Amino acid sequence: MRSTHKRAACPGCCPDIKAAYFEASWNFSEEGHPPTWRCNNCNYEMPRREMRRLTHRTRSQEKALERLPDAIFRAHAYGDSSKYEVKKHEVEDSGHGTIFLTFEMGRIGDEGTLAEAFARDHRHIAIGRRGGLELLNAKRKGESKGWFNAVHGLVN
């Protein structure tokens, strides 16, 4: 597994000692949601470099990558897929076995509208070697694991 937390000095709350607890996150207010380390204490965010080592994907992962986008799209097009389109579809290998899927969809032509800001569905999903799923930007911590939550779970 890649590391999802670290201890380091935090410019926001403890610049001189490596005592702040940082969690791997994404900057959800910035375009493209770049990866960040977020301080658990003061929410200070600093850039996080993602590992980019090539790994072999398992069959379970390939299957999940194949089926998830379609399932998410259908679940969030509310029965009218002609009005929606995929805005972002990225796959990233962590280099440690886990794969990350970023999938965003929204109304066709919503760019620059309120719908872009509020009605898009944006998901970060971790896919484990055996196909285990975790919705990383789940709204509720307890509702992040498994296929149902990956596809339908409320997101931040």
Q: Return residues touching Zn ion (CB under 5 A).
A: 10, 12-13, 20, 39, 41-42, 44
- The answer to whether 39 touches 22, Cβ cutoff 8 Å, is yes
CB of 5 to Zn ion, least distance (A): 13
The total of other beta-carbon atoms located within 10 Å of residue 140's CB is: 11
Please state the closest distance from residue 29 (CB atom) to Zn ion, in A. Answer: 18
Closest CA to 121 of 97, 91, 89, 145: 89
Q: How far apart are CA 132 and CA 32, in angstroms?
A: 25
For Zn ion, the closer of residues 41 and 58 by Cβ is 41
| Nearest residue (CB) to Zn ion, 43 versus 81 | 43
Identity of the residue, 10 or 126, whose beta carbon is nearer to Zn ion in the bound complex? 10
Report, in Å, the least distance between residue 41 CB and Zn ion. Answer: 4
